[in-house]
């Protein structure tokens, strides 16, 4: 007798521990490599929870990252239809993707990131000054983590400091799954208004920064430059800041690992990779849609069906990692997918790693007695956002 197919599942989002993936992933991963899933509006699709299949999907030529075919894996009022804006390369396929990405990749190489290190260190220490001025009980998210990542990208592009906080509010709104249509339209309008003022002005007077170099390159028109800037802002503001705060929260609640890091600062590079793997702040994972009927992981994926890679789950796959649910800052078996994989792997991965390394090092050096100012279970989490992390993180220290 043939077993009846299992009913489609909903994307797991509830967490019993803030440092672990949503609880529902483990049984799904143990049952099968790909699971039938119900998307927003009841549309059928698929969920990948194992590492090997995730890597295969993210490099598979029969699956697309184009915006017009992606459906949200959870109910939300914000629905993005139609193709991505010109220049918004993250939501396109080749040849558009490679065309745009090649124009900007040189700004995010390991070598270029090393050149940016002094600027990153300056910003980190300036925000630590603000944290010290705010005093014990200050919110590390607002004063430090969120501000560091946003300021770095703003300085790279040449965005005035006066625009940073309002841009942060727009990005937060667009990344909130509970954002209503009016709120989303207002945020999109605000972001568009900024871009329509900022980019043309800089085209008339290009500065010595990333945007200025793109303008002088002469290969992008105004609309493409606006799309490129929007992609960089939304990518930088909503990811590295959350990861910086989430990493601090995690280390404070894993004092054995923090002590090990203090004893051997040379472990910092490994610690950053392990935190990226262990936490994987991409709450919804990475989605692709089938360009044609394709056999994948023993199933037939129909043309147009969406497949979501559960990044937090695949980075805890016991088939790939030993003791995957244990935080081990000395771990050597990396190869995580927290920053994606394949041609769409995070463009700013080297920059993000540098911000995290510099940020963690400077914070724990400046405040050796840093600790939470509230019980860990009272830290509010961003469960309703595309990227996961603490909404606020009150901290204290000894004077």
| CATH code assigned at 109 | 1.10.630.10
Residue 50 falls within a domain, yes or no?
yes
> The whole model's pTM is what?
0.95
* Range(s) of the domain holding residue 98: 25-396
**Mean pLDDT per 10-residue run, the chain (399 residues)?**
66 93 94 92 94 97 95 85 91 95 94 96 98 97 96 96 94 92 94 96 95 95 96 91 97 98 96 97 93 96 97 96 97 92 95 97 97 97 93 96
- CA 184 to CA 164: how far, in whole Å? 18
User: Is residue 59 included in any domain, yes or no?
Assistant: yes
What is the reported pLDDT for 283?
Answer: 84
> C-alpha angle 78/162/245, rounded to 5°?
60
For residues 180 and 206, is the Cβ–Cβ distance under 8 A? no
Strand partners, 307: 46, 288
The per-residue pLDDT for 192 is 95
Residue 327 within any structural domain of the chain: yes
Residue 281 lies in a domain: yes
In a domain, 12, yes or no: no
Number of domains in the chain: 1
The answer to whether position 18 is within a domain reads no
Report the alpha-carbon distance of residue 376 to residue 394 in Å, rounded: 10
Residue 159: closest CA among 106, 121, 209: 209
Domain-located, residue 6: no
In a domain, 20, yes or no: no
């Amino acid at each position: 007798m043939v077993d009846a197919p299992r009913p489609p599942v909903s994307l797991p989002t509830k967490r019993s521990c803030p440092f672990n993936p949503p609880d529902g992933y483990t049984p799904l991963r143990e049952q099968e490599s790909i699971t039938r899933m119900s998307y927003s509006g009841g549309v059928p699709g698929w969920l990948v929870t194992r590492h090997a299949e995730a890597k295969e999907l993210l490099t598979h030529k029969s699956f697309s990252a184009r915006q017009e075919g992606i459906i949200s894996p959870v109910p939300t009022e914000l629905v993005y239809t139609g193709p991505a804006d010109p220049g918004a390369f993250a939501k396109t396929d080749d040849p558009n993707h490679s065309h745009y990405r090649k124009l900007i990749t040189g700004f995010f190489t390991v070598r270029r990131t090393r050149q940016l290190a002094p600027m990153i260190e300056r910003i980190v220490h300036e925000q630590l000054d603000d944290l010290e001025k705010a005093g014990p009980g200050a919110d590390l998210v607002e004063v430090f983590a969120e501000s560091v990542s946003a300021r770095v990208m703003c300085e790279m592009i040449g965005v005035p400091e006066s625009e940073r906080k309002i841009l942060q509010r727009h990005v937060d709104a667009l990344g909130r799954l509970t954002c209503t249509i009016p709120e989303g339209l207002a945020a999109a309008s605000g972001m568009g208004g900024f871009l329509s003022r900022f980019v043309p002005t800089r085209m008339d007077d290009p500065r010595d920064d990333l945007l200025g170099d793109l303008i002088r390159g002469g290969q992008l028109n105004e609309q493409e430059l606006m799309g490129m800037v929007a992609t960089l802002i939304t990518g930088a503001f909503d990811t590295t800041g959350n990861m910086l705060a989430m990493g601090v929260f995690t280390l404070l609640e894993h004092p054995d690992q923090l002590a090990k890091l203090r004893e051997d600062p040379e472990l910092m590079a490994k610690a950053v990779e392990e935190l990226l793997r262990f936490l994987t702040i991409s709450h919804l994972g990475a989605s692709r849609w089938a360009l044609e009927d394709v056999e994948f992981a023993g199933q037939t994926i129909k043309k147009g069906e969406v497949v979501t890679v559960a990044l937090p789950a695949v980075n805890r796959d016991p088939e790939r990692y030993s003791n995957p649910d244990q935080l081990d800052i000395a771990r050597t078996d990396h190869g995580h997918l927290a920053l994606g994989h394949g041609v769409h792997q995070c463009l700013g991965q080297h920059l993000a790693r540098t911000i995290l390394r510099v940020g963690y090092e400077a914070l724990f050096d400046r405040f050796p007695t840093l600790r939470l100012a509230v019980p860990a279970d009272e830290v509010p989490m961003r469960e309703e956002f595309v990227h996961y992390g603490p909404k606020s993180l009150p901290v204290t220290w000894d004077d």
